[in-house]
Amino acid sequence: MAKRIDVDQLNIYYKDFLAVEDVSMNIEARSVTAFIGPSGCGKSTLLRSLNRMHEVIPGARVEGKVVIDGQDLYAPNVDPVGVRRSVGMVFQKPNPFPTMSIRENVAAGLKLNGTKLRKATIDELVERSLVGANLWNEVKDRLDKPGAGLSGGQQQRLCIARAIAVQPDVLLMDEPCSALDPISTLAVEELISELRQNYTIVIVTHNMQQAARVSDRCAFFNIAGTGKPGKLIEMGPTQKIFSTPSVKATEDYISGRFG
Partner 1 sequence: MTSPPNPPPPNPPSAQPRYPVRVDLPAHANGGPNGDTPDYPGDPISEPYATLTAVAPAPELPSVPMTAERLPRWAGWAVPLGFTLGGLLALPSGISPGLVLPVVMIVSAAFIYLWSRSVEGARYALDRLVTAIVTSAFLIAMIPLVSVTWTVVDRGTGRFDWDFFSESMRGIVGAGGGGYHAITGTLIVTALACVISIPIGLLCAIYLVEYGKDNRLSRWLTFFVDVMAGIPSIVAGLFAYALFVHISGPGVRMGIVGAVALSVLMIPVLVRATVEMLKIVPNELREASLALGVPTWRTIAKIVIPTSLGGIAASVTLAVARIIGETAPLLITLGITTGTNFNPFSERMATLPVFAYTQNQTPGIARNGMGPPGFDRAWTAALILIMIVMALNLLGRLIARLFAPKTGR
Ligand X SMILES: Nc1ncnc2c1ncn2[C@@H]1O[C@H](COP(=O)(O)OP(=O)(O)OP(=O)(O)O)[C@@H](O)[C@H]1O
Closer to partner 1 by Cβ: residue 10 or 211: 211
User: b/e map of 3-39 (b: 16 or more CB within 10 Å)?
Assistant: bbbebeebbbbeeeebbbbebebebeebbbbbbbbbe
Report, in Å, the least distance between residue 22 CB and partner 1.
26
Report, in Å, the least distance between residue 228 CB and ligand X.
9
**Count, residues near partner 1 per rule CB under 8 A:** 49
Backbone φ and ψ of 78, nearest 5°: -90, 135
30 binds partner 1 (CB under 8 A): no
Q: Which of 253, 229, 173 is nearest to 205 (CA)?
A: 173
Give the residue closest to Mg ion by C-beta.
Answer: 44
Report, in Å, the least distance between residue 44 CB and ligand X.
3
Binding to partner 1 in span 206-235, by CB under 8 A: 208-209, 212-214, 216
198 binds partner 1 (CB under 8 A): no
DSSP for 213-224 reads HH-SEEEEEEES
84 binds partner 1 (CB under 8 A): yes
Rounded CA gap, 122 and 116, in Å? 10
Say if strands 200-204 and 170-174 run parallel, antiparallel, or are unpaired: parallel
192 binds partner 1 (CB under 8 A): no
Binding positions for partner 1, rule: CB under 8 A: 51, 53, 56, 58, 81-86, 88-89, 91, 93, 95, 97-99, 108-109, 112-114, 142, 145-146, 148-149, 159, 162-163, 166, 193, 208-209, 212-214, 216, 237-239, 242-244, 254-257
